[in-house]
């Protein structure tokens, strides 16, 4: 019996050894399997990473398209309230026969650089508009931070007017960018952006016997001491529709800011960031080079392009052409009603800059043009202004 059990146990052990010997993996087999698994996992990881990168690019593209459209819609609503739009001659000065030569108002608005000289900016849209002030709108003024518009002017019986008001405002849209070497310290990207500055008019204080307004301002020629219930923006001066000039264009050229006040540049607010910063060949606009993107499209003979790139400072030679406007002005008919009341605005963004290094955002290329969303809008103003001879 013992012999039988020993023999049976020995046979069972031999079978187990034989099983492990015939069904195990060699070291070479394990290494080959590991290499194959590594290749497959790497391919899958690369595929997943590519999908994630594509998704990021598409999301950045969609966000840029939405922001470009939203910015154009905002500008359109603003321009629709305009009563006059300055063309290139009205901003930079100039003119051709039979139109008179204009001096331009560039020297009257914040110029090409900020006071710290760390920011480059170019005015693109400059226009006058009517600004609506609702009577329930809060407007902080000295010594009365919570006063409403309806509580500004007082009648002699010291009752509030409870009225809405309309005032004139001068609005300037800039294309801006930080100087090289300073953009990395900026809140904004190293592309360019659109900024908006509004110089709003004030609400004069009616004459009340025995009442003196705490807000006084000297204006006009000869100087007049004016009392305000709501003061205008620093540097604001109203335009003079009775100024010398045959057309509204000539009269608006006579506008000058307040002689002693300084325009508060902190009122220049950013509307949208990630505007394409790619420079373009200036010879395109002169007709001596083929028109290729990203250069601006040439305006028609009845329009003027703003900015006038030939009038920019020499250190602006690489300034982008991704935000510009064609302002309608027919020099053969300077008194035409449509002049300086129609604008076509162009805007191009840079979606790739949202997902790239801030210090070196990608520039425009035909191959990736889909990631530089471009849009335009033609806007005709609804406001009107009667000339005073």
Percent of the chain with pLDDT over 70: 79
User: Is residue 349 within 8 Å of 276, Cβ to Cβ?
Assistant: yes
User: Is residue 194 within 8 Å of 270, Cβ to Cβ?
Assistant: yes
Q: Tell me the C-alpha distance between 286 and 321, whole Å.
A: 14
Q: How confident is the model at residue 115 (pLDDT cuts 50, 70, 90)?
A: confident
pLDDT of residue 87: 93
pLDDT of residue 11: 67
Which residue from 165, 156, 172 is spatially nearest to 230, judged by alpha carbons? 165
Taking only the tens place, the pLDDT of each residue in 75-96 is: 999 999 999 999 999 999 987 6
Taking only the tens place, the pLDDT of each residue in 373-385 is: 999 999 999 877 7
pTM for the full model? Answer: 0.83
pLDDT of residue 148: 82
For the chain, the farthest-separated pair of C-alpha atoms sits apart, in whole angstroms, at 137
Which residue from 138, 97, 91, 132 is spatially nearest to 110, judged by alpha carbons? 91
Q: How confident is the model at residue 182 (pLDDT cuts 50, 70, 90)?
A: confident
Question: For residue 73, is pLDDT > 90?
Answer: yes
């Amino acid at each position: 019996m013992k012999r039988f059990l020993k023999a049976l146990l020995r046979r069972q052990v031999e079978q187990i050894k034989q099983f492990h010997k015939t069904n195990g993996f060699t070291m070479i087999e394990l290494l080959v399997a590991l290499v194959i698994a590594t290749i497959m996992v790497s391919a899958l990881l690369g595929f997943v990473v590519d999908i994630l990168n594509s998704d990021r690019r598409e999301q950045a593209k969609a966000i840029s398209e939405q922001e470009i459209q939203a910015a154009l819609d905002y500008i359109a609503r603003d321009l629709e309230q305009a009563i006059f739009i300055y063309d290139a001659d009205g901003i930079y000065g100039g003119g051709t026969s039979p139109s008179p030569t204009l001096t331009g108002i560039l020297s009257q608005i914040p110029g090409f650089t900020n006071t710290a000289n760390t920011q480059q900016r170019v005015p693109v849209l400059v226009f006058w508009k009517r600004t609506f002030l609702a009577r329930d709108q809060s407007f902080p003024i000295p010594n009365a931070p919570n006063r409403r518009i309806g509580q500004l002017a007082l009648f002699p019986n010291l009752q509030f007017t409870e009225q809405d008001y309309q005032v004139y405002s001068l609005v300037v849209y800039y294309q801006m960018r930080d100087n090289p070497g300073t953009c990395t310290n900026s809140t904004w990207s190293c592309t360019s952006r659109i900024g908006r500055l509004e110089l709003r008019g004030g609400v004069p204080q009616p004459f009340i016997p025995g009442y003196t307004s705490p807000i006084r301002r000297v204006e006009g020629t000869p100087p007049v001491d004016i009392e305000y219930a709501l003061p205008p923006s620093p540097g604001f001066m109203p335009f003079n529709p009775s100024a010398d000039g045959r057309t509204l264009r000539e009269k608006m050229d006579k506008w000058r800011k307040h002689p002693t006040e300084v325009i508060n540049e902190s009122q220049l607010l950013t509307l949208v960031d990630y505007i394409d910063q790619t420079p373009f060949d200036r010879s395109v606009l002169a007709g001596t080079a083929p028109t290729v993107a990203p250069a601006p499209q040439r305006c028609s003979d009845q329009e003027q392009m703003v900015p006038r790139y030939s009038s920019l400072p020499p250190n602006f030679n690489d300034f982008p052409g991704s935000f510009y406007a064609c302002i309608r002005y027919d020099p053969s008919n300077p008194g035409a009603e449509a002049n300086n009341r129609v604008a076509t605005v162009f805007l191009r963004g840079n979606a790739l800059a949202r997902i790239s290094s801030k210090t070196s955002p990608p520039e425009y290329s035909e191959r990736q043009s889909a990631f530089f969303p471009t849009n335009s809008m033609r806007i005709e103003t609804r406001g009107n202004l009667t000339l005073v001879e």
